[in-house]
Amino acid sequence: MSGPSGVGKGTVIERLLERQPEVIKSVSCTTREPRPGEADGRDYSFVTADEFARMVAAGEFLEYARVHQDLWYGTPRGAVEQALASGTDITLEIDFQGARSVREKLGRRAALVFVAPPSWDELKRRLAERSTESEDATAKRLASARREFEHIGMFEYVVVNDDLETAVDELEGILTAERCRLERADWERLQSELLEES
């Protein structure tokens, strides 16, 4: 799942996980400071730049990227690999660069969803409302938002987060559709059983 800061990706994902408790959430590492109310290990693992660099060198990330000009974010590979091995669905909240890496590494096992705001003014309003950050941090997030919009074309799905419940319904629909993809199902076994019995 990608989309600009402030669009409400985190809230949409949280609501999806309430409806689908077997789905898990990848917790990213970041070098940014926690915001009020954010918990280490739940919202992000907050690490120093040195620790982040060590993890990169040790190959501990599935993907990582520099976002908002000066901050690093990365998806630890362990949880994703475990989820894939056990057939559990896992959500990643990452920027378009991360989405591109995930597509390269996981192919069609990943579904790329872009969460868009209903309008630019509404995005600005939501970011301002959050207002836990400096004007400079907000300006950087708006610049990143423009870059995200330039890359919408690489995603398979787009969900406009205007009404939250509608956005969650749409995301749930995407999850259902993805679970039914032939390439994810054990279709050859099913086919041979059906053919044998027929």
Binding residues for ligand 5GP (CB under 6 A) = 2, 5, 28, 32, 63, 65, 67, 73-75, 93-95, 97-98
Minimum distance from residue 15 beta carbon to ligand 5GP (Å): 17
Contact present, 5 and 127 (Cβ < 8 Å):
yes
CB 140 → ligand 5GP: shortest distance, Å? 9
Q: Give start and end residues of each alpha helix (H) in 35-158.
A: 49-57, 77-86, 96-106, 120-130, 135-150
Q: Specify the residue, 60 or 89, whose C-beta has the smaller distance to ligand 5GP.
A: 60
Pick 142 or 174: Cβ nearer ligand 5GP: 142
Strand order in the sheet with 29-30: 45-46, 29-30, 71-76, 61-67
Residue 75 or 91: which CB sits closer to ligand 5GP?
A: 75
The Cα–Cα gap between 168 and 165 comes to 5
Q: What is the smallest separation between the CB atom of 142 and ligand 5GP, expressed in angstroms?
A: 11
- When CB distances to ligand 5GP are compared, the closest residue is 98
Rounded to an integer, what distance in angstroms lies between the CA atom of residue 94 and that of residue 80? 13
